[in-house]
Amino acid sequence: MFTGIVEEVGTLLRVEPTGLVISTSSGLSDVVCKDSVAVDGTCLTVIDRGSDWFHVDTIPETLRCTRLGTLQPGARVNLERSLAANQRIGGHMVQGHIEATVHVLLTRDDGIERYCEVELPSHLRAYVVPKCFVALNGVSLTVIDRQHDRFSFALIPYTREHTNLGETKPGMLLNLETDIIGRYVAHMLNQRGDLKDNADESEAVNASPVQILTTSPFEYARGSLVQRSLYAVAYGI
């Protein structure tokens, strides 16, 4: 488990059929074999390391389903160690399980921020919610808006300077992971047969977290099953 707060940007040294070799500075000096590390948001296991590099295992499925399979030596990758029990969660809960790769459609510098729009695969539309979290290349970001086939976010100067999202431009491929809470809620409702299609799933994304958290118990009881489920998750009931 990770938090979406990148600790270091490493450099890809070698791409091998069964793994990647990545250079790193002292920021990840305590990483040892068998540790989990998020590489551009992909949870991988360290199998060897030196003073300024480490080697992670990959399988063909990992390379096929993430942007890692497209990278060449010299590429910069976001790195984060797995979450410790006593660590602050500066971003949000990130599993490191990439659900899709998406292309950047538009970038625009607006003052100090960079506004970006990326593709939104149809099978993930219900889980991308305005003002909620996604992870792109392992970076915890807040969704600004969501349209039918795309969603938007903004990069502050710190994020651009300390992650590889500073290289973001149209056509760039990014790893996408949606928020785990929304995925679990939708899965449980699907198992019960309460969520039949995307039209029903849209009930969940049309309610913002603020709306859910400020819903009175009376309104909660009258709400749809999807909205009641989100209310229950928010309050732990």
- Percent of the chain at pLDDT > 90 equals 65
Domains and CATH numbers, the chain: 8-81 (2.40.30.20), 100-180 (2.40.30.20), 181-235 (no CATH)
pLDDT band at 146 (very low <50, low <70, confident <90, very high): very high
> Which range in 21-25, 193-197, 202-206, 218-222 is most confidently predicted, on average pLDDT?
21-25
pLDDT digits (tens, 9 = 90+) for 153-181: 999 999 999 999 999 999 999 999 999 98
Closest by Cα among 119, 91, 108 to 155: 108
pLDDT for the residue 232? 56
With both helix axes pointing from N to C terminus, report the angle between 198-206 and 180-192 in degrees, rounded to the nearest 10: 140
pLDDT for the residue 210? 47
pLDDT digits (tens, 9 = 90+) for 66-89: 999 999 999 999 999 999 888 888
148 pLDDT above the threshold of 50: yes
pLDDT for the residue 220? 45
- Cβ contact 146:206 at 8 Å: no
What spatial distance separates the first Cα and last Cα of the chain, rounded to whole Å?
24
Q: Determine if the pTM surpasses 0.85.
A: no
pLDDT band at 27 (very low <50, low <70, confident <90, very high): low
213 to 182, 184, 227: CA distances (angstroms)? 15, 18, 11
Q: Please state whether 74 falls in left (phi above 0), alpha (psi between -120 and 50) or beta.
A: left
